[in-house]
Amino acid sequence: MSHQSKLSDKSTRFTESVIRGMTQLCLRYNAINLSQGTPAYQPPDVVKAAAIEAIQEGYNQYSITWGAPDFREAIAHKMTTFNHIPTDAAANITVTCGSTEGMLSALLAIINPGDEVIIFEPFYENYGPDTIISGAKPVYVALNETQSVDGVMRFTYDTTELRNAFSTNTKAIIINTPNNPLGKVFTQEELEQIADLCCEYDCIAVTDEIYEHMIYDDKSHISIGSLPQMQDRTITVSGLSKTYSMTGWRLGYVVAPEVLTNAIRKMHDFLTVGAPHPLQRAGIAALNLPPSYYQELVEKYDKNRKRLVNTLRAAGFRCHPPEAAYYIMTDISDFGFPDDTAFAHWLVKEIGVGGVPGSSFYSRPHLGKTKFRFMFSMADDVLIEAGERLMKIKSKI
């Protein structure tokens, strides 16, 4: 028997992370890494101090599997006041090892063989594998670039394509708002259309809202779980990684109706047992930061957004300012490369800057072969240096 024959079918249906592969390539060639979404900043000092204090005070053993009570109370307050989803700390919250585990625990809790899950593409690269691991069939709906009546380029879905994606086998639809990699913020109208289809086909919305505090140009974040008809059929996944620059702390959470929460907690328990206890204590301090923290966060990222958009346009990329998050999806058609992967490797080796091939965000790679994603969660000097390097592209092609 060959080793290949001993593998599960699931493990052969998706590849390793392209994003983390690009990070390794950047390390090998000493390139500036604008691929992986790791913030260049540090958690606030008061939050770091709270983590140290929790360790010193002895919070070094397991907490309750689904989260320390005080941390869940802080999450419940945030969900109720910011997301407008009435949330009970005891009945509705599961603290997870990052939102990545939260998404998988949620899908494992609701999926049966033969179920279908609708995914908008381009998508965060975990959604397809999560769906396969949980045993469902992914059904993809494209987010297409369109010009709105005000002349601004936006991404939206075709309403007929979305309706046709639903069937009697549909168990869930995954929504990522704000979206990675596009920086799209789903509108009230779009969420209401999705909600109506969820009610019509009796399925669940699983929504990833990890970038909810990074929205620009006075746009608003709307949680689909706040719509009255969706309160009993929404699983909201989020976490502290991006907002508080603590991706290594692995603090996520899942908010859902009690029946769904009970199932999610069982999956979470046997996947990871629990998130780090002392860091949950520090998470309380993070969630209690004043409104000024979030205002300063948006101002900082907005400055980075504008700088990198201007740099990319000057270097020959076609792109539009994202509405949210800290990624810019560009078009590389004008550079004449056969595909995005060839461009990615050339950019790292010859220019010294790393990004992510757009095809890695699509189930249908041809949709992304002229697309390329950069991230802008970087210190000023790093973005300036990256810009200087990118400006050399035209002279080297």
Give 349-367 pLDDT, tens digit per residue.
Answer: 999 999 999 999 999 999 9
Same-domain status, 117 and 24: no
- Read off the CATH number of the domain in which 387 is found: 3.90.1150.10
What was the pLDDT predicted at 38? 83
Query: Residue 104 above 80 pLDDT?
Result: yes
Mean pLDDT (the chain) is: 94
Q: State whether 341 and 260 are in the same domain.
A: no
pLDDT tens digit sequence for 128-183: 999 999 999 999 999 998 866 666 778 999 999 999 999 999 999 999 999 999 99
What is the spatial distance between Cα 151 and Cα 156, in angstroms, rounded to a whole number? Answer: 14
**Looking at the predicted structure, is the pLDDT value of residue 387 above 60?**
yes
Please report whether residue 53 resides in a domain: no
Tell whether 282 and 318 lie within a shared domain: no
Residue 15 has pLDDT above 80, yes or no: no
Domain identity same for 120 and 269: yes
Looking at the fold, whether 354 and 244 belong to one and the same domain comes out as no
Does residue 352 fall inside a structural domain? yes
Give the confidence band of 93 by pLDDT, cuts at 50, 70, 90. very high
Residues 202 and 130 occupy one common structural domain: yes
Q: Is residue 273 part of a domain?
A: yes
* Boundary of a domain, candidates 253, 270, 287: 287
Q: How many domains does the chain have?
A: 2
Same domain, 128 and 18: no
Average pLDDT over residues 75-82: 98
**280 and 302 within one domain:** no
How deeply is 21 buried, as exposed, middle or buried, from its count of CB atoms within 10 A (0-12, 13-18, 19+)?
middle
Residue 1 has pLDDT above 60, yes or no: no
pLDDT at 148: 64
Whether residue 153 is found in the same domain as residue 38: no
State residue 17's pLDDT score: 78
**32 with 159, same domain?**
no
pLDDT beyond 70 at 216: yes
Cβ within 8 Å of residue 146, ≥6 positions away: 153, 154, 155, 156
Per-residue pLDDT, 345:
93
Q: Last residue of a domain, which of 229, 257, 287? A: 287
* Least confident range of 28-32, 294-298, 299-303: 28-32
Reported as half-sphere exposure (CB side, CA atoms, 13 A), residue 134 has a value of: 28
Report the phi/psi class of residue 368: left, alpha or beta, with left for phi > 0 and alpha for psi in -120 to 50: alpha
**How confident is the model at residue 122, as a pLDDT?**
96
Tell which of 268, 287, 306 closes a domain. Answer: 287
Q: Give the whole-number percent of the chain exceeding pLDDT 90.
A: 87
Q: Which of 170, 173, 165 is nearest to 234 (CA)?
A: 173
Q: Report the pLDDT value the prediction gives residue 2, as an integer from 0 to 100.
A: 60
CATH number reported for the structural domain that contains residue 228 in this entry:
3.40.640.10
Q: What is the mean pLDDT of residues 56-64?
A: 97
Q: Are residues 270 and 176 both part of a single domain?
A: yes
229 lies in the same domain as 243: yes
* Residue 79 located in a structural domain: yes
pLDDT, tens digit, 9 for 90 and up, residues 262-290: 999 999 999 999 999 999 999 999 999 99
Residue 148 lies in a domain: yes
pLDDT at 308 over 70: yes
Domain for residue 56, yes or no? no
For residues 311 and 39, give the distance between their C-alpha atoms in angstroms, rounded to a whole number: 20
Range of the domain at 97: 61-287
Over 60: is that where the pLDDT of 3 sits? yes
Does residue 117 contact residue 174 with C-beta atoms inside 8 Å? yes
pLDDT in tens, 105-114: 999 999 999 9
Q: How much is the pLDDT for 176?
A: 98
Q: What number is the average pLDDT over the span 192-204?
A: 98
Residue 14 covered by a domain: yes
**50 located within any domain:** no
- Residues 6+ away with beta carbon under 8 Å from 277: 54, 59, 60, 61, 62, 63, 68
Q: Which two tokens stand for residue 39?
A: 């913030």
